Structures are given as C-alpha cells and as structure tokens.
C-alpha cells in the first residue's frame, strides 16, 4: 500500500501539532509554581532548598515601629503577615508611598532563615488599595480588618 505525499504531510503536521500542544501543556502545568505574585513570611518555612536560593517576592505589611535607616542609606524593616515576621534590608530609592502599617512587596533573595535582602520595593499606590494576595494572606492568618466595616 502506497501513501500519497498529501497523506504523509497530513500525518507529519498532525504529529507536530500534537507534540507542540503536549509541550505547551507540560510547560504551563509546571509553570504554575512560579506564577505566585509573592510569598508571605509564613510561606518561607515551606520553601524547598532550590526555591530558597532563587529570586523571590516577599509580601505583607510593614510592621509598625520596625523601620530604620542606617547612615549608609540601608533601609531595614520587618514584613509581617500577622503570624510570622521577616527582617528585610534594602538599599536604593525608597518609594514615596512606603510607610509603616502599609502593604509592601519586596523583590530579592533570602539571606539565611530569617533575613531577606531586597533589590526592589513595591509600595501600594493609594490609601485604599491593597493587593488581593495581601488581603487573602491576612484573612488566612486572621489578621485582616476591613476598614469599611462599621
């Protein structure tokens, strides 16, 4: 039985499409671990060794009374999710909206078990906004208080 060239091309194209779709599905399913906007201080303990040495986004609230700035310009503060705290050090331009008691996301790397070296600081953009992920984390820890509630 002799196959026509048209049938051979159709089988080849179908096989290539199936391979591309299965590759895309594999990538998307494995990528979900890296699509988290940020992790909370409580999530740090559950990280695997490979994740601990990679770049992370740490999110939560800037703990009241924890902000200090050294003479060399290094900013130190504590990020809390209401359950756990993480000490953060940052050297760079401080966002004008950064302050105690407000939501923050710090991008950087872990330094030991309880310290974080931030390379970038993201502060909330107005006084009514808090990222959904921060709200969810605070609700999960039981520390969320709705400012609009009576």
Q: Distance of alpha carbon 82 from its chain centroid, rounded?
A: 17
Judge if pTM exceeds 0.75.
Answer: no
**Burial zone of 5 (CB within 10 Å; 0-12 exposed, 13-18 middle, 19+ buried):** exposed
Output 49 or 115, whichever has higher pLDDT: 115
CB within 8 A of 59, min separation 6: which ones?
Answer: 37, 38, 39, 40, 79, 103, 104, 105, 106, 131, 133, 134, 137
Pairing of strands 115-123, 85-90: parallel
Strand-pair partners of 60: 104
What digits encode the pLDDT tens for the residues 89-145? 999 988 888 888 888 999 999 987 778 999 999 876 555 556 677 777 777 777 666
CA atoms within 13 A on the CB side of 47: 25
What digits encode the pLDDT tens for the residues 12-47? 999 999 999 999 888 877 766 555 578 888 888 777
In the three-class reduction of DSSP (H, G, I as helix; E, B as strand; rest coil), residue 122 is classed as: strand
**Superfamily of structural domain 36-141:** Nucleic acid-binding proteins (2.40.50.140)
Rounded to an integer, what distance in angstroms lies between the CA atom of residue 141 and that of residue 122? 22
Q: What is the CA radius of gyration of the chain?
A: 23
How confident is the model at residue 150, as a pLDDT?
44
């Amino acid at each position: 039985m002799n196959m026509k060239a048209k049938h051979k091309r159709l089988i080849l194209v179908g096989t290539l499409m199936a391979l591309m779709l299965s590759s895309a599905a594999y990538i998307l399913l494995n990528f979900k671990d890296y699509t988290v906007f940020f992790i909370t201080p409580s999530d740090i303990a559950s990280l695997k060794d490979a994740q601990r040495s990679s770049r992370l986004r740490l999110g939560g609230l800037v703990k009241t009374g924890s902000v200090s700035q050294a003479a060399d310009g290094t900013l130190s503060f504590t990020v809390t999710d209401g359950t756990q705290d993480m000490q953060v050090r940052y050297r760079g331009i401080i966002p004008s909206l950064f302050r105690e008691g407000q939501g923050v996301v710090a991008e950087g790397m872990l330094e030991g078990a309880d310290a974080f070296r931030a390379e970038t600081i993201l502060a909330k953009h107005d006084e009514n906004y808090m990222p959904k992920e921060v709200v969810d984390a605070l609700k999960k820890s039981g520390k969320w208080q709705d400012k609009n509630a009576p």
